[in-house]
Structures are given as C-alpha cells and as structure tokens.
Amino acid sequence: MTSRRKFVQQVAALGTLSAASAIAPSLARAQAAKLRVGLMLPYTGTYAALGTAITQGFNIAVEENGGKLGGRDIEYFTVDDESEPAKATDNANRLVQRDKVDVLVGTVHSGVVMAMVKIARDSGTLLIIPNAGANAATGSQCAPNIFRTSFSNWQPAHPMGKVMYDKGHRKVVTLTWKYGAGEESVESFKEAFTKLGGSIVKEMYLPFPNVEFQAFITEIASLKPDAVFVFFAGGGAIKFTKDYAAAGLKDKIPLYGSGFLTDGTLEAQGASAQGLLTTLHYGDGIENPKNKQFRYAYGKKYGIQADVYAVQGYDAALLLGSGLTAVKGSFGDKKSLYGALEKVKIDSPRGAWTMSRAHNPIQDIYLRRVEGNANQVIGVAWKALEDPARGCKLGA
Ligand code: BEZ
C-alpha cells in the first residue's frame, strides 16, 4: 500500500475529515460542539513512521475514553507537515485560521515546531507537542498555552555523557543532522561528558535529512575515537546503523545515541542495532501495568509494536482529556484549563510523570540495550530528570 493511501485510511479511521465539513456547512454547524483537534504531523518523508505512531497512540487513548475527550466528541483536522520548516507557518495557519481548531497537536521536527510555537503564542491557541524536542519550546519561548508530552532535546542526551564516561570512554566523535534536534542533543551530551573530563575529538554534521554517511564513517575510522555519539531518528537512523555496521565499525568503535537511534526502527535495523546502548524516556519492556495494557491494545489494533512516539501521542490525548475534564470540556476559562494541565500526573506507559514549571515532562531517563526487536531497559540513567528550561519565566 502506498504511504499516501495508508495515510488517508488512517485519517479516515480517526474520524471526520475537514473536507467533509467544508462540503456540507450544515453538517459542520451540527458538529459545532465537537472538540476541534488539529493534528500537524509528518506522514511522508524520513519521519513519516513517527507521525503515524503519534497519531495511532493518540487514537488509542481516545478510544479508551469512548471516542471523546473531556466529554466531547472530536473532529480531526489533519495536515502532513512533511518535516518541512519552510511550509510550517502556512500549515499551522491553515489549522488555526481556516479550520479554527481548539487545539493544535504537533509535531515531530524541531524546526517545524518552532513555527507552531510562534503561531500558538500569537493566536493563543493551545499547543500540545507530542515529540519535537526544541529546547526553546519549553525554554525561552515557553508560554501558558504551550505544553509538551515528549522531552526537550536536552533531556535524553544528557545522561549519556555519564554513561559513556563510566564505560571508560574519554575521546568521542559526535555525528548528527545539522538542525535543532541534532545540534541540541550533541550540545547536551557534550555538556555532561566534558564536565566529567571527557573530550570531543570532532563534531560532525550533515544536512537534514541526508543519509550519505560514507565519508563521515570513513573519517571516524581514521580518527579512531574511543566511541561515537549520534542523534538520528526514523529512516535516517535505520540507514546509519546499517552503514556503520557494514563498514565494520560496530565491533571496533562503540556507537551510542539518544534512544531515537533504535526506537521504532529495530525490525529494519536487524543485526546492525543488536547490543547498542541508548538513553531515552521509554523502553519496550518497562514493567508497569499501564505499559502492558497500552502495548497490548496498540499491537492488537495496529499489528505492530508500540514505540516511544506512540507513547507520546497517547500521553498527548491523556493530557488533553484530563485537562478538559477538569474544566467540564470548556475552553471558556483558559486560566483554569492551563492550571489543570499544569497539575496533571500522567499515568503513562513510560511510568508516571508530571509537568515542569515550563510545561515539559519531569521523567526518568532509562538506559536501554537492544536485544532482538526490543529496547530492553537495563537501568535508570537519570531519575526524574527535569529540563533546565533556560530562559523560561513561567512559574519562576
Ligand atoms: C526533533 O526534531 O525534535 C526530533 C525528531 C525525531 C526524534 C526526536 C526529536
């Protein structure tokens, strides 16, 4: 099935398409009381699988809640943002100005989310971020109406500094895409690793979403660092671990990353990912009843294993549902709604988490090892890690 056909089917399965209300205004009027949810996510490109998993996770929570959130039926308005920052402002404006959504949910890519953050700040629309880690979204650009159910780019990478130092590595090469998520992940890793006494031999970058890794891998082989730290995700992560292994480096120069390197990708990565250590706020085998229940429901409905992106989408719907329930489904009193969202304790498959003052999860970061098709949790790399929220004045 083409990704386009699959995408259309998924959106149709979620509920009413926005086009339907454009064709039939009377129907749209009849649906006025529905909660208007704008999903802005990538359904094509390197991060397509991530956008789909978030959508599916969101849908599982809504289904568990009888198809409603905060007691209201839902009308979905969906945009494929293609992980393309140049189109992000127009895409978000379509949802806010044309479709008049009550809430924007998105996105995956840090560059795209910053356009959404600006529109949310300017329009006052509630924004729930189910992945993109751009530090500024809950840092210098934090706002009363902006909440995140995923992580800041600083969070998953930071504990890896100590993990790698404790493994005895002292000289490390970093490699990533040159855009917000890659740069901020490397910066955070570097902050922790160099503070302990480690040094960075070379920082390497390639443009997003290029996957021509060969020249970099050749240079890593000649530099002979103790280890390599990378940020890659989605299709790029699959290509990278395969190229790294094919070049014969996997058993010579240990490879580490924030956990996006091996999340939702293991089947395609096969042997190239076996044994890799990563840090992330989720792991496949987390032993809690919520995770078991979620993974079972997700597998049953979609026929694939849940991953971190599905969990973040699920938690976005839990957050919205719980905030709206506290204010009886109404957006009339925004202060009370945001107050309720700030106070939530989300019973997540990743383990319970709470909101920081900047509206970003305070959460455990796990150390995981790839075993077969699972990211097995082998320890907690950092308990209840809170993003420093540099530049955010909320709650200060
Ligand atoms: C980001 O752009 O923020 C991002 C994308 C994929 C995985 C993690 C972060």
- Angle, alpha carbons 297-300-304 (nearest 5°): 100
Q: Tens of pLDDT along 258-303?
A: 999 999 999 999 999 999 999 999 999 899 999 999 999 999 999 9
What is the C-alpha to C-alpha distance for residues 132 and 114, in angstroms, rounded to an integer? 9
Which residue's CA is the closest to the ligand 1 atom numbered 2? 109
**Cβ of residue 74 lying under 6 Å from some atom of ligand 1:** no
121: left (phi over 0), alpha (psi -120 to 50) or beta: alpha
**Cβ of residue 132 lying under 6 Å from some atom of ligand 1:** yes
Q: Which residue segments constitute the domains of the chain, with CATH numbers given?
A: 4-151+287-362 (3.40.50.2300), 154-280 (3.40.50.2300)
Percent of the chain at pLDDT > 90 equals 91
What is the pLDDT, as a whole number, of residue 285? 86
Closest CA to 105 of 44, 153, 152, 35: 35
From ligand 1's centre to the CA of 185, what distance in Å? 10
What is the pLDDT, as a whole number, of residue 17? 36
**Cβ of residue 181 lying under 6 Å from some atom of ligand 1:** yes
Q: Tens of pLDDT along 33-90?
A: 899 999 999 999 999 999 999 999 999 999 999 999 999 999 999 999 999 999 999 9
Q: Could you tell me the pLDDT band of residue 27, with boundaries at 50, 70 and 90?
A: very low
Q: Point out the least confidently predicted range of 29-43, 79-93, 114-128, 174-188.
A: 29-43
What is the C-alpha to C-alpha distance for residues 227 and 206, in angstroms, rounded to an integer? 19
Structure tokens at 281: 């706020």
**Cβ of residue 260 lying under 6 Å from some atom of ligand 1:** yes
What is the pLDDT, as a whole number, of residue 6? 43
Gyration radius from the chain CA atoms: 20
Q: How far is CA 151 from CA 46, 184, 228, 287, 342, in A?
A: 20, 12, 23, 21, 16
Q: Could you tell me the pLDDT band of residue 395, with boundaries at 50, 70 and 90?
A: confident
Contact 306, 294 (CB under 8 A): yes
pLDDT average, residue stretch 325-352: 97
Q: ω into residue 159 within 30 of 0, thus cis?
A: no
Q: Could you tell me the pLDDT band of residue 8, with boundaries at 50, 70 and 90?
A: very low
**Cβ of residue 130 lying under 6 Å from some atom of ligand 1:** no
From ligand 1's centre to the CA of 215, what distance in Å? 24
Angle between helix 3-14 and helix 48-64 axes, rounded to 10 deg: 20
From ligand 1's centre to the CA of 272, what distance in Å? 21
User: Where would I find the H helices in 303-355?
Assistant: 308-326, 334-343
What is the C-alpha to C-alpha distance for residues 45 and 107, in angstroms, rounded to an integer? 14
pLDDT average, residue stretch 195-213: 98
